[in-house]
A and B are shown apart, each in its own frame.
Chain A
Amino acid sequence: MKRHLISAADLSRDDALLILDTADELAKISERSIKKLPTLRGRTVVNLFFEDSTRTRISFEAAAKRLSADVINFSAKGSSVSKGESLKDTALTLEAMGADAVVIRHGASGAPHRLAGWVRGSVVNAGDGTHEHPTQALLDAFTMRRRLGPLDGRKVTIVGDVLHSRVARSNVLLLNTLGAEVTLVAPPTLLPVTVDSWPCEVSYDLDSVLPKSDVVMMLRVQRERMNAAFFPTEREYSRRYGLDRDRVAKMHDEAIVMHPGPMNRGMEIAAEVADSPRSTIVEQVANGVTTRMAVLYLLLGGADLGGEIQ
């Protein structure tokens, strides 16, 4: 495995399967009464969050703590960033404190990549702008594999705001590596212009894709990133691309419904669908801790790969 996890494209098929297999073993730890392993004792993991996050930050924190690493949480609010400190200076501060891994969420696409050149430790991308969110893709793949078995040839449909979604991009890359067939469904205005070069199919009609899907992943409509009129009204979006009871009825019996959270209930997904047994939304959160433990273990658990500062 590489020293950093910046993009889902960094992972070969073997790397990805190693992470998923490791997570499978680590999942048992959360069933034990002592949910802790001594593996990363004495290592420091810094959570560097420039953007709001609930589940990802807590999930990384829980994962690091279960492996006995020391965790330092840093959020941009109330830090020197609000006094105008640059990312590089923040990175140098972390470097001086001896961080073995930096988990970074940043509003700017590419920030983790820049950071990786400034620190000696491993950098884990926890979401950068509209670019990537590789650990989300890993936990999604892990959740699918637990429900459906191996992903080769499985049909995964990702629906919604692909344009602003780092989750969609990471998922397309990783699922393709793992042999699944991905179809993106979205209004044309919410697809990136380069989508033709992605390893996936594209459709504008949800109803025709649903019966063939093993997994339907709904994306959040990211209102905070919507600075133009991407669709006429929320009601119309919901009618054409929302997952309601009637649409779920078209899916085959074993198919599952996923959502990376946070959900807009009633918008992209109906409340009764989100709470149905097909939905893996709560499992995804639990699996997030396990998958991130696997990532931290594989990046930090072995010999120091001796990164150079550029």
Chain B
Amino acid sequence: MVFSLADAISHAHSGARAVLEGPDINRALVRISHEILERTKGAEDIVLLGIPTRGVHLARRLAACIKQFEGRSVPVGSLDVTMYRDDLRLRPARALGRTELPADGIDGRIVVLVDDVLYSGRTVRSALDALNDLGRPQAVQLAALVDRGHRELPIRADYVGKNLPTSKSEIVKVYLEENDGRDAVLLLKEDDK
């Protein structure tokens, strides 16, 4: 899933609809960080783990918001789930992302998994399996920038940036400044791909 800015612009002309623009994404992240603070009573024991690639950028932004509101530095890490996926055999072997845990690990912490789009729930299931091999968190929560529905597993998000009703033939693309040079969430029809 590598998209260039040029891609984004060409999509913008081919009937792709921008669901969230830059400021909307920031507002959603600000709200999620408040919700995390509220739910975890000050975010004392939490660790934010982003799922590469864009989940990691989102996790860093959430940590920056929390730092700004409460003055607390929350550990941020990344969790690559490739080796735990259940669809590995449907495609050629893919390159691995980076797994980097905070120095203190995740034992006894509240882990908040962060991903850009929540769809079938299979990525989150893989992430839960991966966490199992890395330690024993006190609790695991899930934050997603976009929840587009169509779950295939009994998984739900604790924090959602935007609930986005979609049809399965549509494609949700998330662009982030750190990765793609701009912030946006686009909804494309399959034939625009």
Mark A residues whose CB is within 8 Å of B: 1, 18, 21-22, 25-26, 28, 32, 34, 36-39, 297-305
Contact = CB atoms under 8 A, between A and B. Distances in A.
B94 A21 contact: no
B89 A22 contact: no
Given A301-B88, A304-B89, A28 B99 contact: yes
Contacts of B93: 1, 297-302
Interface of B: 80, 83-84, 88-99, 129, 133-134
A22 B82 CA distance: 11
B95 A21 contact: yes
Contacts, number: 47
B92 A303 contact: yes
Which residue, of A25, A28, A304, has the highest number of chain B Cβ atoms within 10 A? A25
Contacts of A297: 83, 93
A26 B98 CA distance: 10
Nearest to B80: A25
Q: Is the interface of B mostly helix, strand, loop or mixed?
A: loop
Q: Is the interface of A mostly helix, strand, loop or mixed?
A: loop
A37 to B, nearest CB: 4
B133 A18 contact: no
A36 B130 CA distance: 10
Nearest to B89: A303
Contacts of B92: 302-303, 305
Given A37-B133, A300-B93, 13 more contacts: A1-B93, A25-B98, A32-B133, A32-B134, A34-B134, A37-B83, A38-B129, A39-B84, A39-B88, A302-B89, A302-B94, A303-B92, A305-B92
Contacts of A32: 133-134
A18 B96 CA distance: 9
B83 to A, nearest CB: 4
Contacts of A28: 99
A114 B40 CA distance: 62
Contacts of B129: 38
B84 A302 contact: no
A265 to B, nearest CB: 38
A1 B88 CA distance: 16
Contact of A302 (B91, B96, B99): B91
Nearest to B129: A38
Nearest to A305: B92
Contacts of A38: 83-84, 129
A253 to B, nearest CB: 31
Contacts of A37: 83-84, 133
Which residue, of B83, B84, B91, B134, has the highest number of chain A Cβ atoms within 10 A? B83
A191 to B, nearest CB: 38
Contacts of B95: 18, 21-22
A99 B96 CA distance: 25
A303 B84 contact: no
A298 B80 CA distance: 16
29 contacts: A18-B95, A25-B80, A25-B96, A25-B97, A25-B98, A25-B99, A26-B96, A28-B99, A32-B133, A32-B134, A34-B134, A36-B133, A37-B84, A37-B133, A38-B83, A38-B129, A39-B84, A39-B88, A297-B83, A297-B93, A298-B93, A299-B93, A300-B93, A301-B93, A302-B89, A302-B91, A303-B89, A303-B90, A305-B92
